Structure formats: C-alpha cells, structure tokens
Structure 1
Amino acid sequence: MANNEPLLRMQKIRKVFSGAVALDDVDFTLERGEVHSLVGENGAGKSTLIKVMTGAYNRDGGEMFFEGKAVNFRTPEEAQNAGVVAVYQEVNLLMFRSVAENMFLGREPRRMGLIDWNKMYREAGETLQNLGLQIDPKAVLGSLNIASRQMIAIARGVSLGAKILVLDEPTSSLTEREVGLLYDVIRRLKEQGTGIVYISHRFDELYAVCDKVTILRDGKFIATRPLAGLERIDLVCLMLGKQREDLEKKGTTAFSEHQTQAAETLLETENLTRGRRLRNVSLRAGRGEILGMAGLLGSGRTEVARAVFGADAVDKGKVSLEGKPLKLNSPNDAIRAGIAFLSEDRKAEGIVPEWSVRENMTLAALPALTSLGVVSRAKQTEIVEKFMRRLGIKASSGEQKIRELSGGNQQKVLLARWLCKNPKFLILDEPTRGIDIGAKGEIQSLINELADEGLGVLMISSELEELVEGSDRVVVMRDGECAAELRGKDISQDSIINAMAETN
C-alpha cells in the first residue's frame, strides 16, 4: 500500500432508485487523520452516499478504493470488518447492558467457551481511556446521560478497529458542554489517524472541527474545499447553486404587490425552545401578512411550524393567537384555535392517494359534515365544487382519484382542505415544491388573495426568489434561532444568504 494513497476514494458513484437518479457520478476522497464534512440540502444525496460507503446500498456505477484497494462492500458487516463504521444520530444500543457489553456486542471475548468478562472490561476500559473518556465499563448504559451513550457508540466503532468513522448528526441531542467533549474525542481520533466523515447542518460545528467539506446538490458532486479560508457565504452559495455576484436581484413580480394589513398582531410566539433545535424563538405575524421564513436544512424552520401547530412539544415558551395564549398538546388543539398547516411532504403527510378529490378535500371538515354518524355527501359535494372553482383545481370531477392529478392540483386540494375549516392562520411549508412553473404562479396568487382577505400566512420556502417576491417580512432561521428579520427593500437574496451564513 502506497503511503500517498488516500484512505478512501470514491469515483463517479452512481445510484438509481426506480429510475430516479439519487447519485450522479459523485466523487469523494478521505485522507488519514482527516475530518471531512459532507453537506447539502434535502435530496442532495448525503445519506445515499454514506450508505454506499458503508455497504447498506450497492452502487449502480463507479468505483471505490479503500487503502488503495478496490472494494465493493455488499453489507454493513463487510464494511465494518474492513474498518468502515457508521454511528448514526439515533444511538442503537442496549440500555440494560453494561458499557463493555454494548461495546463488544456480538463479538464478546471468550475463554474455554465462556465470556471472558475480565478481558472484556479491561479492553473496554483501555479503549475509553484512549479516547479520554472517564466512563466505568461496568456501568449500566441506561444510567448514563445521552452524551455518554453517544460516546459509547463511537467507542464501540473504535473497538471494532474502525479506520473510518461516519458520524451522522452526532450533536443533535447534546448540550453545548457535551458538544465540547465530542470535539475532544474527534481530535484524539484524528491524532490516531482515523478518518472521520462528519455530517451536520450546523456551520459552527463544521468550522470548529472539520478540515474539508464536500458539497452535494441534487445528487451531484459540486465541490470539495478546505474549510480554512472558505467564507460561510461562499459555502451557502455552493449549497444553493447561487453566485455571489448575482445575489442583488430584487423581486418585482405581481406577487410582491400584496399590500399588508399587518398593523394588528395575529399570531405571536415567545421564547419557543426545544433542546438545541429551537432556542428562544420569538416572532410575530400580522393579520393579512405574509411572513416568509428562510433557512438551510436543520436551521429550525420546520421545527417552528410544528411547534406552532402543536405537532411537537416544546421545553418552554408560548404561542398566542389574537392575544390569547394557546394550550397546544396536539395538532387538534391548534386546528380548533384556527391554525392550519400544509406540510412540505404532501405525499407522506397530506394526500391519501387512493381517495377521491372529494374525500381528500373534506377530510379535515368531516366532523362538521357528519350527523348521527353519517357524512352528508351533498354538503361534501357543495364544498368541493366551491373550492374547485375558487382555486381553479383541474379535475374531471370531485370523484377523480387525487393521485391522477398533477402536483400543483394536488397541492390546491390540500390547501382547500384547510380553507374548509376557515382558519385564521395558515402555515405553508414549501408550498410550491415539486410543481411546475405555471402551477407555482397560481399557488402564489392564491396565497396573495388569502392574505388580502385577512388570513395570516407563515410561508416557509427554500426558494429565495419566492420569499423575495412574495413576503412582507422574512425571518431567517439559523441553528434553531431567529438570525435576522428583513422587511421592505432589505429583502433580497443577498441579505437572506448573508443571514444564513452569519456574515455582515
């Protein structure tokens, strides 16, 4: 093995699922003793590349070299045996077993057919000590805090003889102090020559602990850069496919002509906090206002929406509607108060594919349409015809299967579902994702009309043009916090990206 060979080299990796290309000729190289970050938005291909690397997926094209030799890991076990180990954010260990038992699970040292407990405890202790961890190998795992369990998962990988460790969102459940402990462990591993692939949405972490970053976008390799000297705004531009010199464009379309009535506060959040995912988020949305929300993946955008909708419990903070604090134990509480939520994933959380347009549209309104256990078909039809006309839904009739409609028309049906409830406040998470340009314009115009009628709107979007052109104000989320609030002429792609990247 030549000394100048990288620890891992992946060339033109290709992976296809049912005709959809998830990885399109992706390159990735990892050196010994290097911490290399893999970044990209949703659908960029990070998880797929990691699964190919660790044997969970078989690649459909390309080559992979480990320590200079061509390899094709067909299972995670093959990868582990070679020294490629993944530690995922959901730690999968046995809470009622000892630390040492978890570290040596399935490969316990034996003597004369029996487990050699002394050897197992001794070797576990040595591994922990080498990582600088003051943890008793005999302690029951369930008695330890989350951070210690995370360290045990890493120690288990080290005890497997890992030459490459993949750390997937390793700080997601850790406090700031515990994150520092993780960094210490990573630095020790780096000194020992271990290569580390580090996946995180938090820029502070990348710049604190990583040497290089590889950016993926839409399943394609974009660039590999040393993090030293790479400005955050340039990293954001690479992730989003933007050029710094083109970011001054302002929106001037008809959608931006909406006149806000936002003098009256409709919805307000105060200090919403949920671990490290949301940290003291306070925002205000006015009646008839379109409040845009921007942020990279993992910034806290969707977490804000789910907290306001009662889908996720918060550690502290409150949500008020029309000046009245709400008790949100579930989405039903939010719906009763007048809050509606159109999810970013209409297929998983929205439409029922085998149901008709009528059944999908009136789902949220069924209690009001039911008498003595019988749903009024006439009332359903009346509602469907009304909203098909109002929203311009293109379907042969209300009885057509929703799966037969275009993405834009499916989105309109889901919007109509919530409008049936006469909400006061509407949360739209990626309202135009996956639909064609014409349908996007129609959806944007509908949002505009609803705001003109006095509905409060929170519009979360990854499309900067959509936010620039369609928002009265834009709140930018970063690392679970409100990083900036932009209004009027200050709303531009440039200002949004600067706030995402924490640059002045």
Structure 2
Amino acid sequence: MTAGRPTAPTRPVVLAGRGVTKAYGATHALRGVDLEIHQGEVLALIGENGAGKSTLMKILSGVEQPSSGTVELDGQPVLLASPAQAVALGVAIIHQELSLCPNLSVVDNIFLGRELAGPTGVARRREREATRAVLERLGEEIDPDALVGDLSLGQQQLVEIARALDEDARVLIMDEPTSALSASEVEILFSVIRDLTSRGVAVVYISHHMDECLEVADTAVVLRDGWLVASRPVAEVDLPWIVRTMAGRDQSDLFPAITASPGQVVLQVEDLMVPDPANPSRLAVDTVSLSVREGEVVAVYGLMGAGRTELLETLAGRHRPAAGRILLDGRDVTATSVADRIDQGVVLAPEDRQADGLVQVMSVGSNMSLAALRRLTRAGAIHRRREAAEVGRGIEAVRVKTESASAPITSLSGGNQQKVVLAKVLMTAPRLVLLDEPTRGVDIGARSDIFATTAQIAGSGAGVLLATSELAEALQASTRLLVMARGRLVAELDPGTATRDQVMAATGEQLRTA
C-alpha cells in the first residue's frame, strides 16, 4: 500500500452533494451520488471517461444543475445557479478543456469579468503586478501582456491554473490540471496545492494520472457509470486497487503487446533543423536524425519544450524545416504539403484534439472521414454509402462509444473524441502514423484501447512515431525509445530494459518521488 499523505483528523465539510442525480433524456450521468469535500484536504475523484466526474464537478461549480438531489455549502442547501455565483461563494474550477480567450493577453484572461477598478478606469498596473505574483507561485516567467494564443499548450494550462488561484477560492476543483505540464511544473503545482490546503482550502483533484492522485490526495473517491462505488483514505489504497475498482481490469492489461517484426525503413530523417514557430530566432528541433521501420512503434519521450510536437508537425508538413531531409520509403518529401503527405501515407494525430484534431461543429462520422475525402470523392461528389461503411468500420475498430455516426462530436467524452481522431488516421490507409500525446486527458480504459489500436497499426505493416511525456507509455507502449531534450535527441534506449531513472536522467530532470 502507498504511504499517502499523513492522516489528519476529520475536518469540517465545506461542500457536499447529497443524492445528486443528473439525467440527459434517458441517459443518467449521475445516480444518487453522495460526496463530501473537507476543509484543508485533497479529494482525488477517479473514474473512466463517462463515469460522471466532470458532470458532478459542473454541478458543484454552478455550471449545471442537478436533476435531483442537493448541493450543500457549510451544511446548508445552496442553489449554485451560475459559475459566477459559485466563485462569489468561494468555489472555483479549472476545466479540463481550456476556457481562455486566445486573442486576449494573459492579464486580461486572468481578470476577465472581475477587473480591478482604478481612479480612471481599470487598474492595469495592479492587475499586471497581481498576474506576475500568481505566475511566480507557479514558477513561470510568462509576460502578462503576451497573447494567450501565442503561448504553448502547457503555458496556457498554467494561465488557467493561475486564474483560478487568483480567485482566492475556498474550494478549488482541478479537472486534469497537469495534462500538458512537465515533471518539474507538476512538482511546483503540488507545492502550491499543499500550501493551499495548509491554509484551509479544499481541493478536488481529477486526473487520469493515478500516481499523481496517490501522491497528492488524502481521499480517493471512485465513480463508475454514474455511481459512487468506493471512497477510501489514500493511505489504504494502491494503484492496482484503483485500476480494478474503476475499470474492472488488472493494470497488466493496459499495454497490449506489440508483436510485429521490424521491416523496411518507412521514415528516414536526416539532420532536421526547425525554427521555433513562436520564436524563429531559436531552434525547436536541432539537428535531429532518426528512422522508423515497418512494424515499429518508436517513442520520442520528452518534457514540455523538448521539441516533440514541432518535430511531429514538421514530419506531417505543417512546418518547413530550415535544414535537413525527410524521406518516406526513400522518397524526399521535405518540401511537400500536408495534403500531399496524407496522400503519401503520412498522417498526424495532434496533441490538441480540440483545436487541431476535430471540427467541433461536425458530427462523429464527418470528423472521421475528413482526412480521407480525396479518396472518398468521385466526380466532385462524396460517395456517401462508401463513406458510411468506412465510418462504421472505424467506429467498431477503435471502439468509439457513440449513439450514432451522426451524433455531434461534442457529445462524446474526451477519450472517445481521441478515438475518433485515431479512426480518422486509420481511414487514410497510413504508411506512417505520427501520434502526439495520444492519451492526453483520457482514462485508463481508453488508453488501453488506444494502445491496442497502435499495436494493430504496427501489425499491419505501418510505422508509428509516438511522442509522449508519459514515462509508462514510453517504456511499455514502444519497441524503441528515443529521448528528446532542448530540441535534440539525447539518448536511444531499449524500452524492455531501461528504467524510469535512466530516462529522466537523459532529459536532465530528476524523477519526482512521493
């Protein structure tokens, strides 16, 4: 069993749900949930996508109302009619999908809707000072006047966290707060959480990273299919118990074996150099050479800022390299477009599925077939019967849970949306699949399905290049492991024999321990 955090005496209940039920038509997202959130403690809320975690937190933060049941604040029933009312009562939430305005500055995002008043209008100087102070707590030197749209995904996530911290909440709900953060940034966030709880703030921590839950939480609560099925002190549970309770499967089943034998070289990268899109004066990818063979899953492990995303986006044709060559099956494709590379069998599943992987106003099926429209179009018209047949096979192949192919993509959980991105990749009949953080923000069950699909892709004779900041994925979901830091490949390791400490040592960071 894990040691967990020291057991403290029972503290007062700040926020509670009593018999909370939420129904959307015939679908029940929550079924009579009783949950207590105690002052000065961290409650880890655990469950697969679709278990009801986000729905419960939306109710407790005023985003949605329960179909039945009540919410209590300090023991008294309260109607949280809106997020603004919840914030006014001391309940703040950091959403899994970022809710920032990319066309506004960092300081404008942090104070949006609660601007500081000065003698002649908005007190911009005070807002900038407060923004710098809260970002310093998170160990970040981000310019308060920088446009949020110009920041990396990890920096945007820190701005979202900073905004919630500045609201001075009594209850802070964190929904996947570390999905784009490096190990050192996660450690800083945990220090901030410990500081908050020492001052009596209650924290609800939602994450698919079970090791994080075990490290930072006092209590583990598990939801499954809308029911609260278990609640225990973290000191009494371990990772195998969590996996069995939430998913009904053993931890050893999460990473299916990759059985394909390496064949011919699919991808050859030679001395690739790529300017940083946000700062062209520096290199995001610095003299990188690598290869991927048929049947291989090559992992590129690196932390935020290592250059993983820029490398994969360049291979997909999104960025033009300053130097070097990209060869696909021996053919130079360095100067070809994204569309041309898709036609040639190179396809990318991007890190940010919301912004880059899916079209939010389209259906599940339309998103799935989007990258294969050239192949599905004849005489200027889409062959609808063929499209429907291939979409149906894609839904079945990657196990997308959806009412139908015509359902809105926004109706799916994060894990199922990511499966749609993978199905879109498969519909292009790929020769080389580029996966950038394919399990960001998805649960254990969806991860297992995603890596089963990855193994199938390799088994079909394609090559896979997997960029990840997850150590377990790098070591257990690949046949070969490359380590990237500061734009360079710094090590090549055998995932079958390498240790977590060896991988982290190669990046120049220390492995976080509980």
- Taking structure 1 as the reference length, the TM-score comes to 0.57
Aligned pair in 2 of structure 1 residues 426, 52: CA closer, same or farther (>3 Å)?
same
2:38 maps to 1:28: no
Deviation by residue 1:227-255 (Cα, 9 ceiling, x = unmatched): 335322332333322257xx68999xxxx
- Tell me which residue corresponds to 1:106: 114
2:244 corresponds, among 202, 215, 237, to 237
Native 8 Å contact 1:132 1:185 kept in 2: no
2:186 maps to 1:194: no
Aligned pair in 2 of structure 1 residues 127, 284: CA closer, same or farther (>3 Å)?
closer
In structure 1, what is the Cα distance between the partners aligned to 2:184 and 2:465? 34
1:181 corresponds, among 164, 179, 188, to 188
2:21 maps to 1:14: yes
* Paired amino acid for 2:264: E
1:142 corresponds, among 140, 146, 149, to 146
Deviation by residue 1:186-217 (Cα, 9 ceiling, x = unmatched): 22211110101123333443344322222223
In structure 2, what is the Cα distance between the partners aligned to 1:340 and 1:98? 33
- Tell me which residue corresponds to 1:92: 100
Native 8 Å contact 1:310 1:328 kept in 2: no
Deviation by residue 1:267-321 (Cα, 9 ceiling, x = unmatched): 58999x99xxxx9x9998754x49699xxxxxxxxx9998698398799999864
1:69 corresponds, among 68, 76, 80, to 76
Native 8 Å contact 1:103 1:152 kept in 2: no
Aligned pair in 2 of structure 1 residues 100, 350: CA closer, same or farther (>3 Å)?
closer
In structure 2, what is the Cα distance between the partners aligned to 1:480 and 1:427? 19
2:375 corresponds, among 365, 369, 373, to 365
Quote how far apart the aligned CAs of 1:58 are. 0.8
Can you give the 5+ residue segments of structure 1 that lack an aligned partner in the other structure? Answer: 294-302, 394-400, 405-409, 431-439, 461-474, 488-501
Aligned pair in 2 of structure 1 residues 384, 282: CA closer, same or farther (>3 Å)?
same
In structure 1, what is the Cα distance between the partners aligned to 2:255 and 2:147? 55
Aligned pair in 2 of structure 1 residues 71, 338: CA closer, same or farther (>3 Å)?
same
* Paired amino acid for 1:45: G
Native 8 Å contact 2:243 2:250 kept in 1: no
- Tell me which residue corresponds to 2:90: 83
In structure 2, what is the Cα distance between the partners aligned to 1:242 and 1:266? 35
Quote how far apart the aligned CAs of 1:323 are. 5.7
**Pairwise mapping of residues 53-452 of structure 1 onto structure 2 (< 5 A)?**
53-88=60-95, 90=98, 92=100, 102-103=110-111, 105-106=113-114, 108=116, 121=126, 133=137, 140-142=144-146, 146=155, 149-150=159-160, 152-158=162-168, 162-242=169-249, 260=260, 262-266=262-266, 287=294, 289=295, 310=316, 321-322=328-329, 327=334, 331-339=338-346, 363-365=373-375, 369=378, 374-375=379-380, 384=386, 418-419=428-429, 423-425=430-432
**Pairwise mapping of residues 459-478 of structure 1 onto structure 2 (< 5 A)?**
478=470
Q: What secondary structure is seen at the aligned counterpart in 2 of 1:55?
A: coil
Q: What secondary structure is seen at the aligned counterpart in 1 of 2:50?
A: coil
In structure 1, what is the Cα distance between the partners aligned to 2:234 and 2:321? 34
Deviation by residue 1:136-166 (Cα, 9 ceiling, x = unmatched): xxx84439984874564134211xxx21112
Deviation by residue 1:99-122 (Cα, 9 ceiling, x = unmatched): 5995595364678xx66969x949
In structure 1, what is the Cα distance between the partners aligned to 2:50 and 2:338? 27
Q: What secondary structure is seen at the aligned counterpart in 2 of 1:92?
A: coil
Can you give the 5+ residue segments of structure 2 that lack an aligned partner in the other structure? Answer: 1-9, 277-284, 300-308, 396-403, 408-419, 440-448, 480-511
In structure 2, what is the Cα distance between the partners aligned to 1:75 and 1:204? 33
Quote how far apart the aligned CAs of 1:57 are. 0.5
- Equivalent residue pairs, number: 414
Native 8 Å contact 2:371 2:427 kept in 1: yes
2:487 maps to 1:482: no
Q: What secondary structure is seen at the aligned counterpart in 2 of 1:228?
A: helix
- Taking structure 2 as the reference length, the TM-score comes to 0.56
* Greater Cα radius of gyration, structure 1 or 2: 1
Aligned pair in 2 of structure 1 residues 98, 76: CA closer, same or farther (>3 Å)?
closer
Native 8 Å contact 2:61 2:91 kept in 1: yes
Q: Percent of aligned positions with the same letter in both sequences?
A: 22
2:51 corresponds, among 33, 44, 47, to 44
Aligned pair in 2 of structure 1 residues 29, 175: CA closer, same or farther (>3 Å)?
same
- Tell me which residue corresponds to 1:491: none
